[in-house]
Amino acid sequence: MKNLKFRNAKLSEYNDLKIFFESFYGENYYEVEYKYFRWLQYENPLRHLEASEDEFTSFVAFDSDEIVGSINYVPMEFYINGIPYQSTWSVGWLVKNGYSAISGMLLKKNFLRFNYYMSMGATQWVKSIYTKQLGFEYQHNIPRTVMVGKAGELIDLIKRNPDLKTSDFSKIYDWQGDTLKIAEKSNYYCVTAIDDLNDKYWENHLRRHKVTINRDRKYMKWRYFDHPHIQYDVISGDKSQDSGIAVLRIETAKDSDVKVARLTDFFPIDGNEEVLTGAVARYLIDKGAVFLDFFCGSSNFINNYMDVPFIHESEHMIFSFPRLLHPIEWRERYSINASLGRNARKSDSLPQIQISDIYFTKGDPSQDIVLNREYFTRGV
């Protein structure tokens, strides 16, 4: 390990990265499928923050000319009281067997290029590096809010869980009633092109949140309208988008006709929370989904702006709604955690923030990505 070098991977080194990740995860690993990898690691709108025109956002350790470690990251901006801070998500981290000693070094070198550093899905080993070596804050569970579309089918689904601890499902019927009540008097309108997206949602969102991940027009175009494999629906409760917008997709469980709606962003404009909630409820019913879920890190946002028929985690936890759909499974996974680091070298100029203050969402469990339905992440 005398010849270690650290730098971003060049576009010309894609095949080397693919071989490196597949040597551990197996062939056809979805994160290095070319269209998806290029979209995530090259086309992301803030790639220029710490990458040149000929580089991926993959921070790589080389021993001589061999790749021995890589952190794939996606640059983003934290807006804190409206001020942007260059930061990043970690989205994939792997070190070759025999090189575990460089794991912390690789992470630290990448981390210190940014102001704040976030990740989701840390294993216990990664958590120990984050918290013990780098002083990260760790949130075991990203809060999950749900909405019920089809009570009977949902109960049949829940009963398949061998560890279910309740036999009283009356609340689920009540929750379906709440959904139907608001859906019946609501409509939704689809925003089918980025040019039709009104910036009002973002202006209001910035005013509302002390801390948020960037969700501006450039982000929305890249993340949702230009996704290479997943179809998203951007909707509003009115034609002019005065009620704000929500982003959803429909996922069908493996070997099943069970449909689940994933709400991946929710931007109600002040005073229009009920209108946008109604649009989401109508979408859920019209699409025939059994239930909807939404993972959001900001407990303040959930508690203040997500009212009935959204059901908060403390209420629905007893029913253990399945989290993953390919196949359907109930067991708790560390893929629902979040970690936050603040660059200690810039501590005098960086505000102190907590994970629970931040508006961020969890969108696509790896098992739900179209590329590889059979894949299960080893070690998670």
Q: How confident is the model over 55-66, as pLDDT tens digits?
A: 999 999 999 999
End-to-end CA distance of the chain: 28
Question: b or e along 305-317 (b: 16 or more beta carbons within 10 Å of the residue's beta carbon)?
Answer: bbebbbbbbeebe
Separation CA 225–CA 194 (nearest Å): 7
pLDDT at 323: 82
Domain with 21, as residue range(s), is: 4-140+338-347
- Does residue 310 sit in the same domain as residue 238? yes
Instruction: Tell whether 99 is covered by a domain.
Output: yes
Instruction: Tell whether 259 is covered by a domain.
Output: yes
**Least confidently predicted of 220-234, 248-262, 286-300, 365-379:** 365-379
Instruction: Tell whether 368 is covered by a domain.
Output: no
**pLDDT of residue 271 exceeding 90:** yes
pLDDT at 369: 53
**pLDDT of residue 379 exceeding 50:** no
Q: Is 272 left (phi over 0), alpha (psi -120 to 50) or beta?
A: alpha
% residues pLDDT > 70 (the chain): 94
Residue 62 phi, psi (nearest 5): -115, 140
- Does residue 186 sit in the same domain as residue 136? no
Tens of pLDDT, residue by residue over 190-224, are 999 999 999 999 999 999 999 999 999 999 999 99
pLDDT at 365: 53
Residues 205, 234, 244, 259: is their CA dihedral positive or negative?
Answer: negative
The chain-wide mean pLDDT, for the chain, equals: 91
- The confidence band for 334, taking pLDDT boundaries of 50, 70 and 90, is very low
Tens of pLDDT, residue by residue over 31-77, are 899 999 999 999 999 999 899 999 999 999 999 999 999 999 999 99
pLDDT at 259: 95
Mean pLDDT of 182-188: 98
> pTM here?
0.93
- Does residue 227 sit in the same domain as residue 285? yes
User: Could you give the number of structural domains in the chain?
Assistant: 2
